[in-house]
Amino acid sequence: MKHKAPKAIAMMLLASTMLFTAACGNTKGEESSTSDPNSTEPITFSFFGADTSPHWNKMQDVVGKKITEATGVTINAEYDIASGGGDDKIALMAASGDYPDLIFPKANLSKLVDAGAMIDLTELIEEHAPNIKKMYGEEMNRLKYSNEDQAIYTLPTNGSVDQLTFDNTGGFELQHRVVKELGYPEIKTVEDYENALREYYKAHPTTEDGQPTIPLTLSADGWRSMITVTNPAVSATGAPDDGEYYINPETYEAVLHYKRPEEKEYFRWLNKMYNEGLLDKDTFIQKEDQYKAKIASGRVLGIIDHEWAYNDAEVALKNAGKDEMTYGHYPVTLTSEFKRADFQPVGSDGYGIGITENCKDPVRAIKFLDWMASDEGQVLRNWGVEGEQYVIEDGVRVIPADVQERKNNDNASFTKETGIGLYFVFGPHYGDGVKDPSGNYYTTNFPEQILAGYSEAEKEALKGYGISTWKELFPTEEDFEVKEWGAAYNMPVPSDGKYQVIYQKTQDIVQKRIPEAVVSSTDKFDQVYDNMLAELDKAGAVEMEQQYTEWIKERVRLWTGKDVQ
Amino acid sequence: MSVKAFNATKSEKVFDIANFILMGIILTVTLYPFLNVLAISLNDSTDTVRGGIYLWPREFTLENYKTIFQYDGLIQGAKISFARTIIGTLLGLLSSSMLAYTLSRPDFKIKKFVSTFLALTMYFSGGLIPGYILMKDLHLIGTFWIYILPMMVSAFNVFVIRSFIDGLPYALQESAKLDGANDLTIYYKVILPLCKPVLATIALFLAVGQWNAWFDTYLYNGSKPELTTLQYELMKVLQSTQQGGSNVNANDLAQQMAQVSPESIRMAITIVVTLPILVVYPFLQKYFVGGMTLGAVKA
């Protein structure tokens, strides 16, 4: 900058101002479309999704082009990033009135409703959406916003309608080699589970390469401790998953699930395991990657987790040819009188997509969502295009081997190209196990396909128990009533205010005291656990539970029409 | 640091050796995390799960980088990121140093008021929503200039430069005035050359800040793919390997995870994001030292 004249600086400033003014005056609203609702004239809807969708390809994929062809609709989508959830973006929309035409607000729906951003879909569905009506049928009530405001603002899309799960990937896990060596013992209670671990551990205190065997380890790193440490206490004592609460099905009273006496017994069992040396000493100090590294080494006999969480460790085992060190899923309960509720149906419940006040043509929008919910639309969203991503052989939809292979091994680019899996948010859809009028499943997950995914060692273990999927060990959907309040963890609660403060406090207490109780000496356990319960109440848990109970009751009233007091 | 091989006293030798060791330790401590990140980013992701990767990859692969560079927004994002870094840094330097010079002048009447006003912005901000509404009313949303203008003047940078100028002898400015220089000439011919070290520091702040910014892209230009930035694109990639979504079936997920583990991808991203900005450091290095000794005043 030595030889430049000051003029240069002045020029730069001038140039930048000019540039800046030139850049002004941009977006103008698009032309509003025709009023004929049946037209398939090109129309563009803007959309914001509070989940992330990194493979979104601006509808330049096979499925996207087909959708535009059939409906004339192009979606200009923007998705949330970072942790997902869209909190910031939606707060800005609510404050500034800049809404997209369609929105999937997730847990932030209330912000938009309070801002008057959402339109009531009740009439629109009644008049223009036969497919959506057919789908929800009896459960239409569950779409309503609240008792005071019975409008329908969103159509649940992140859950599926009438979902029937074909396999269980949770429960208590044991390595296939363990059950094989012990001759496939019955694994039903924590006692069975513990005995299996103990016996195998006694016979094999170290692995072949001399590393110590770990009978049982858990991951307590951040939110993972909910999955592997505290939630199993709920499921092993026969309660369904309602987040941090247990909800009494008769009275709808919500309590923090730690207060159930049977759960104390579950934690006592963990405490016993710890003191006996069967539960890994590092359980509460290891990070998630250390936990996975242990599993991937094959020296962990048992875990209490979900497959989606430890999957990459299991893949590492499979790649190393150690199939016998991967895990089966067992219906372990505290004692034989409990019945695991993994498969208790929750009914329609979930976040959904809605139409905003800014929408140029709500009728076209609802018709678009309805087309997406039609048989044609659903098959397209799940399977792709006939002759490309699937073929029909003797009336049965099949995915050709080469397509399946790409789907498995090059999923990212497959998704980008075909768009399969990118459009679930645009309109309701049936879940696994539901068949369309042609007798084919709507989704691409069905028993035959799951069986094909098992490794040899896994098949052997299943055979040892005389079953074909892990699910057969568990009580099924038929054994339970549909939960009247859906899944409580899906229920939106205020994101700030008193409730949230107390909730946070209780979480802090639980995360500190549960590990403390588990690692204390056996005679101290009662004291630590009871102190924790007292501490929770001191932090205001009772008040918080009453508040939560009220919300649950409101939900039940709204959904079932029952007069709950 | 030079080691005197001969005629060094014993104590000097001891000092040198100790110095070597100490500096070696510091170097290791600072460099190791980076090398570890590099090693993990070049390692087969399935293998990474097994843990125990320290200085070099166990199973070398470029798969993780391939995954990242598959995204088409990356090239456009890189363009915009470079543009905003260069333009934003230059304009930021210019405006902050001009303001700082003005504030350093004792004959500036409302110096105190402006300084206080500026300092307030360091401790109080309007918050997210008022900021958004302001940008909306300025019609900056959906334009490139939203990356530049809001970040041009930051109170902290101005104060850093001002205190540096305050440290320069005022006699320099007086003598320039006597020679017939006007304010602009003094700023340009006297102050700026002397300020090189502090300007280099601020340039680094600005450049790193611009380069790493993604939140403004997300807030204001999320629906404009032509204005995406590198960091924003990388944020998206990072997400894709973290959450399977509720609709992905376990088999697909298993296969996907086999290709890329979050750990390896995250490290690959870290490398991609860090390298370009690392390149800036050596170029600014010389200014940190230079300029200190320029134009001394004879007492």
pLDDT in tens, chain A (565 residues): 444 445 555 555 444 444 444 444 333 333 444 456 567 789 999 999 988 777 788 888 999 999 999 999 999 998 887 666 788 889 889 988 889 999 998 878 888 998 999 999 999 999 999 999 988 887 888 888 888 888 999 998 877 788 788 888 889 999 999 999 999 999 999 999 999 999 999 999 998 888 899 999 999 987 788 889 999 999 999 999 898 999 999 999 999 999 999 999 999 999 999 999 999 999 999 998 899 999 999 999 999 998 888 888 888 898 888 999 999 999 999 999 999 998 888 877 778 899 999 998 999 999 999 999 999 999 999 999 998 899 998 888 888 888 888 877 677 778 888 988 889 889 888 888 888 988 888 988 888 778 877 889 999 999 999 999 999 999 988 888 889 898 888 787 876 789 989 999 999 999 999 999 999 999 999 999 999 999 999 999 999 999 999 999 998 998 888 887 7
Q: Assess A523–B contact: CB distance below 8 Å, yes or no.
A: no
Which of B185, B249, B266 best tests the A interface by mutation, with the highest count of A CBs <10 A?
Answer: B249
Q: Is B126 on the interface with A (CB under 8 A)?
A: no
* Average pLDDT of the residues in B70-98: 90
**Per-residue pLDDT at A544:** 95
Residue A293: how many CB atoms within 10 A of its CB? 19
Residue A426 touches partner B, C-beta closer than 8 Å: no
CA B164 to CA B194: how far, in whole Å? 9
Give the closest-approach CA distance of B63 to chain A in angstroms.
12
Structure confidence at residue B254 as a pLDDT band (50, 70, 90): very low
> Is B23's Cβ below 8 Å from some Cβ in A?
no
How far is B153 from chain A, CA to nearest CA, in Å?
14
- Which of chain B's residues have a Cβ under 8 Å away from the Cβ of A25? 139
Please name the residue of chain A whose CA is at the shortest distance from the CA of residue B93.
A9
List chain A residues with CB under 8 Å of B261. 312
- Chain A residues with CB under 8 Å of B152 CB are none
Q: Of A8-22, A372-386, B14-28, B80-94, which gets the smallest average pLDDT?
A: A8-22
Please answer yes or no on whether B239 and A25 come within 8 Å at the CB atom.
Answer: no
How close does chain B come to A250, measured CA to CA in Å? Answer: 30
SS3 A392: strand
Q: Do A85 and B212 meet the contact criterion of CB atoms below 8 Å apart?
A: no
Q: Residue A411 burial (CB < 10 Å; 0-12/13-18/19+)?
A: buried
pLDDT band at B260 (very low <50, low <70, confident <90, very high): very low
Alpha carbons B159 and A180: distance in angstroms, whole number: 72
Contacts of B49 (CB under 8 A, 6+ apart): A289, A292, A293, A296, A312, A313, A315, A316, B261, B263
B144–A81 C-beta distance less than 8 A: no
Burial (CB < 10 A; 0-12, 13-18, 19+), residue B61, is: middle
The DSSP line for A462-489 is HHHTT-SSGGGGS--GGGSPPPTT--GG
Token pair in block for residue A325: 């060190």
Between residues B272 and B103, which one has the greater pLDDT? Answer: B103
Question: Would the CB atoms of A84 and B239 count as touching at under 8 Å?
Answer: yes
Residue A518's Cβ-count burial label (10 Å; 0-12, 13-18, 19+) is buried
pLDDT exceeds 50 at position B153: yes
Of B8 and B298, the one with more pLDDT: B8
How far apart are the C-alpha atoms of A316 and A300, rounded to whole Å?
Answer: 14
Cβ–Cβ contacts within 10 Å for residue B278, how many? 11
Distance from CA of B76 to the nearest CA of A (A): 15
**Least Cα separation, residue B111 to chain A (angstroms):** 24
**Per-residue pLDDT, A409:** 67
Of B47, B71, B143, the CB nearest to A23: B143
- B225 part of contact set with chain A, CB < 8 Å: yes
Say how far apart CA A57 and CA A421 lie, in whole Å.
12
Select from A55, A89, A314 the Cβ nearest to the Cβ of B240: A55
Provide the shortest C-alpha distance from residue A528 to chain B (in Å): 35
Q: How far apart are the first and last CA of chain B?
A: 33
Q: Specify whether the CB–CB gap between A342 and A169 falls below 8 A.
A: no
Instruction: Name the nearest CA neighbour of A476 among A344, A331, A338, A346.
Output: A344
Compute the distance between CA of residue A250 and CA of residue B143 in angstroms, rounded to an integer: 57
* Alpha carbon of B3: minimum distance to chain A alpha carbons (Å): 38
- Contact (Cβ atoms closer than 8 angstroms) between residue A499 and residue A547: yes
CA atoms of B107 and B117, how far apart (whole Å): 18
CB contacts under 8 A, B 153-212 vs A, are 184-185, 188, 192-193
How confident is the model at residue A444, as a pLDDT? 85
Q: Which amino acid is at B257?
A: M
For residue A493, give both structure tokens. 């609660």
What stretches of A28-80 adopt beta strand conformation (E)? 43-49, 73-79
B63–A contact, CB cutoff 8 A:
no
> String of b and e for A187-213 (b: at least 16 CB within 10 Å)?
bbbbebbbebbbebbeeeeeeeeeeeb
Residues of chain A neighbouring B263 (CB-CB closer than 8 A): 289
* DSSP bridge pairs for A397: A392
| Mutation site for B-interface testing, chosen from A47, A53, A411, A442 by largest number of B Cβ within 10 Å | A411
Interface of A with B in 122-181 (CB under 8 A): 158-159, 169
| Alpha carbon of B82: minimum distance to chain A alpha carbons (Å) | 17
Q: Are A225 and A232 in contact (CB under 8 A)?
A: no
Strand A391-393 and strand A155-156: the pairing is unpaired
What is the C-alpha separation between A119 and A33, in angstroms, rounded? 19
Provide the chain B residues 95-124 that lie in CB contact (below 8 A) with chain A: none
Residue B149 with chain A: CB contacts under 8 Å: 20
Whole-number mean pLDDT of chain B? 83
Instruction: Provide CB contacts within 8 A for B73, sequence distance 6+.
Output: B225, B228, B233, B236
| DSSP E strand boundaries for A331-376 | 352-355
Q: How many pairs of residues across A and B have Cβ atoms under 8 Å apart?
A: 145
In tens, the pLDDT along B230-250 reads 888 888 766 654 443 333 333
Task: Give pLDDT, residue A154.
Answer: 92
Which amino acid is it at B20? F
Residues A135-174 as b/e (b if ≥16 CB within 10 A, e otherwise) read: bbeebbebbebeeeeeebbbbbbbbbbbbbbbbbbbbbbb
B190 burial level (CB within 10 Å; 0-12, 13-18, 19+): buried
Which residue from A111, A88, A104 is spatially nearest to A50, judged by alpha carbons? A104
| Chain B residues whose beta carbon lies within 8 Å of the beta carbon of residue A84 | 239, 243
Which residues of B fall within a CB distance of 8 Å from A88? 128, 218-219
pTM for this entry: 0.77
Asked if B144's CB is within 8 angstroms of A9's CB, the reply is no
A556 φ/ψ angles, rounded to the nearest 5 degrees = -65, -45
Identify the bridge partners of residue A247 per DSSP, sorted by sequence position. Answer: A254
Of residues A311 and B157, the one with the higher pLDDT is: B157
Contact A290 B51 (CB under 8 A): yes
User: Which residues of chain A make contact with B246, given a CB cutoff of 8 A?
Assistant: 158-159
**What per-residue confidence (pLDDT) applies to B298?**
42
Q: What share of chain B is helix, strand, coil (3-state, %, to 5)?
A: 70, 0, 30
Q: Looking at residues B115-134, what average pLDDT do you find?
A: 90
- Give the closest residue to B142 by CA, choosing from A24, A29, A358, A101: A24
Q: What is the pLDDT of residue B262?
A: 63
C-beta atoms of A316 and B46 within 8 A: yes
